[in-house]
Amino acid sequence: MVRLVRRGAHRAGSQADHDRVIVAGLSMGGSLALALGAAEGRPDEIIVVNPALFVDSPFAPLLPVLRHVVRTIPSIGGDIAHPDRDECAYERTPVAPLATFHRALKTLRDDLWKVDRPVTAMISGEDNVVGPRTLRVLRSDLPQPPRIVALRRSRHVATLDFDAHTIAEAVLESARTGAAVPFPSETGE
C-alpha cells in the first residue's frame, strides 16, 4: 500500500518518511521534478506536464545581457483552451530570474541521463509556451523512454484545461498502484 501522508506529524517530511515518493510538476515545476530525478535521494517516480527544458524564445541566448537592460517582459500566462478557465498569471515576467532559469535548464538537459526512475510525460498537442523539442530531448536523453500521455484537448496549462481529469487520474493511479497503466488518451477511449 502506498502511504501518502507523513509518518510522525511532529517532524518535517522527507523521502525516508514515505513508502514511495512521486514528484509531479507543470512547466517549470516539471523541470524541477526532473532535476530532483537527477539528484541524490531521487523520487520513485516522476510525472511531468508540459515540462520546460528550453526557454523557447529567439531572445533566450541574450537573456544574460538583457537582464541588465530590461527588468520585465510581457507574461506568457494564459495558454488554456478551455474558455471558462483562467490561470490568473502575472502580467509581467521578471527577466533576471528567467535568465537564471535558462542557464539552469542547460544543466538539467546535461543531467537527464541520471534520471533512472520512471517518467510519465503528459504533453499537450498545442502548447504556445513549451515547444516540441522538449519531448524530443526527453525521448532521446532519458535512460529509459518516458511514458507519454497525449493531452489532445489542452494547451500549456493543462492542469486547468480540458484534460485536467486525465492528469488527475494518472497521478492517482500512480499513487495507488505504482504501475504504469493506460489512460483514455493513450488508448483512444
The CB-side HSE value for 146 (13 A sphere, CA atoms) comes to: 29
CA distances from 35 to 23, 46, 107, 152, 172 (A): 11, 10, 9, 26, 22
Instruction: Spell out the residues 6+ positions from residue 167 whose beta carbon is closer than 8 angstroms to its own.
Output: 49, 122, 151, 158, 159
> In the structure grid, which three cell numbers stand for residue 183, read together?
489512460
Per-residue DSSP letters for 91-133?
Answer: SEEEHHHHHHHHHHHHHHHHHGGG--S-EEEEEESS-SSS-TH
Residues belonging to the active site: 27, 127, 156
